[in-house]
């Protein structure tokens, strides 16, 4: 889609408003557009930062939960081992009393 210079020419004679006023309005319009663009750009950046912070926090909590789970499993295994040892020693004592 090649645009030549001829396609971009505008007939300025059809405007009744003086060109200086039109130029000021067009410039103001462009400045408003730029301000809106920069505001949206900063808002996008702010949301990206919030998303990154939430992601880091979630990953941190996930890692901590995995560590707690591993610790709980280890403690449960130790508890099961101690329960087995105490039940074995009780059964040996009961067997010894019976003889």
Per-residue pLDDT tens over the stretch 24-62? 999 999 999 999 999 999 999 999 999 999 999 999 999
Whole-prediction pTM: 0.52
pLDDT at residue 89 is higher than 70: yes
pLDDT of residue 86: 86
68 lies in a domain?
A: yes
6 lies in a domain?
A: no
Q: What span, in angstroms and rounded, lies between the C-alpha atoms of 45 and 58? A: 20
79 lies in a domain?
A: yes
pLDDT of residue 1: 47
13 lies in a domain?
A: no
pLDDT of residue 85: 87
Calculate mean pLDDT across residues 71-89.
91
70 lies in a domain?
A: yes
Range of the domain at 73: 20-98
For the CA atoms of the chain, what is the radius of gyration?
A: 39
Q: How would residue 18 be classed by pLDDT, with cut points 50, 70 and 90?
A: confident
Q: How would residue 73 be classed by pLDDT, with cut points 50, 70 and 90?
A: very high
10 lies in a domain?
A: no
46 lies in a domain?
A: yes
pLDDT of residue 5: 56
8 lies in a domain?
A: no
Q: What span, in angstroms and rounded, lies between the C-alpha atoms of 58 and 70? A: 18
Classified as helix, coil or strand, 94 is helix
Number of domains in the chain: 1
């Amino acid at each position: 889609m090649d645009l030549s210079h001829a396609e971009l020419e505008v007939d300025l004679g059809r405007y009744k408003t003086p060109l200086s006023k039109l130029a000021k309005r067009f410039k103001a319009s462009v400045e408003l557009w730029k301000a809106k663009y920069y505001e949206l750009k900063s808002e996008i950046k702010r949301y990206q930062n919030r998303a990154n912070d939430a992601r880091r926090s979630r990953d941190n909590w996930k890692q901590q939960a995995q560590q707690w789970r591993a610790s709980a499993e280890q403690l449960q295994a130790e508890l099961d081992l101690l329960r087995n040892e105490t039940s074995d020693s009780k059964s040996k004592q009961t067997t010894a009393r019976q003889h």
